[in-house]
Amino acid sequence: MAVFTQLSDDDREAISVAYGIAPLTSVIGIADGDTETTYLFRSQRGEYIVTLFENGAEPFDLERAFRTMELLSAACVPCPKTFRTETGGATIRLSGKLVAVVGFVQGTQSACASPAQCFDLGRRLAQIHRTLMPASPEKREGLPRGPIHGALFPDNVFFLGDCVSGIINFRLRHDDVLIAELADVLVRWTMLSNGALDGERAEAILKGYCRVRQLQDNERQALAAFALAAAATFIAVSEGSIDLRVRAENAFLSAQSLFAARETPIGAA
């Protein structure tokens, strides 16, 4: 069930003072959801996204998300600017709810990204993987494993023209096999109604990714299987079991075809 927490004048003042963004010129409620309430705060200093977490959020998770965005921003990955309290905290509590503040991200979301946008999306995904990768990465069955975004879906990415202007929602960051997130991005951004991946857009994501981080041979070999798993999960969660097997198999076959019949496969060194 959707929730929306109304902020009193005192609440707004408390937030703006805590994060050093006062005085405010306007406050607009811009979104509601099951787990958070979001506002746009405006002041003479700029525009800010203020999020009240209704449940399920822990200070540790938000602190980690802030540190992730700060690290990625330093590596030129477009992320919201983080704002901390005078004591350096990422969050405060207001009426028992966690509050966090980040800078407003310019751009728009894209439900059907163009090939050019997909290329830059792939490039940014690889930047995230490379930047967050530890010096001695773990491997699972020979596949590189490390920190991933965890929810790089269309509602968490903003574009200005052909370029990614902002990536948000790093609260779900966790460690996984890197090729699994690449497969998930291919499915979420390019899957057609029959389950197959749109070849032009999927290839653009792969080319963008490999421009920054080359895939190992075993990653290329494993991609189709991870695409099948990602497609099956997405279809089951969002649409139920209708044609699940056929559509997931189509995702598998189209992911396989991305590397077929090429003298120099995408992602080859």
182 closest CA partner among 158, 215, 160: 215
In the predicted structure, residue 63 carries a pLDDT above the cut 50: yes
Could you tell me the residue ranges of all domains in the chain? 9-103, 115-257
Q: What is the pLDDT of residue 136?
A: 62
Question: What is the residue-averaged pLDDT of the chain?
Answer: 92
Question: In Å, how far are 128, 147, 200, 214 from 144, measured between CA atoms?
Answer: 14, 10, 26, 12
In the predicted structure, residue 93 carries a pLDDT above the cut 50: yes
CA torsion 52-2-60-10 (nearest 10°) is: 20
Q: What is the pLDDT of residue 263?
A: 47
Candidates 3.40.50.1370, 3.30.200.20, 3.40.50.720, 3.40.50.410; CATH matching 9-103? 3.30.200.20
What is the CATH superfamily name and number for domain 115-257?
Aminoglycoside phosphotransferase (APH), C-terminal lobe (3.90.1200.10)
Least confident of 93-107, 127-141, 186-200: 127-141
> What digits encode the pLDDT tens for the residues 7-47?
999 999 999 999 999 999 999 998 666 788 999 999 999 99
- Which distant-in-sequence residues (6+ apart) come within 8 Å of 210 by Cβ? 122, 126, 266, 267
Kindly state the average pLDDT of the residues 66-82.
97
Q: What is the pLDDT of residue 264?
A: 53
User: What are residue 41's phi and psi, to 5 degrees?
Assistant: -100, 135
Angle at 71 between CA 70 and CA 74, to 5 degrees: 85
pLDDT-derived band of residue 155, with 50, 70 and 90 as boundaries? very high
Same fold, 9-103 and 115-257: no
Q: What is the pLDDT of residue 135?
A: 67
In the predicted structure, residue 239 carries a pLDDT above the cut 80: no
Segment holding 166, helix H or strand E: strand 163-167
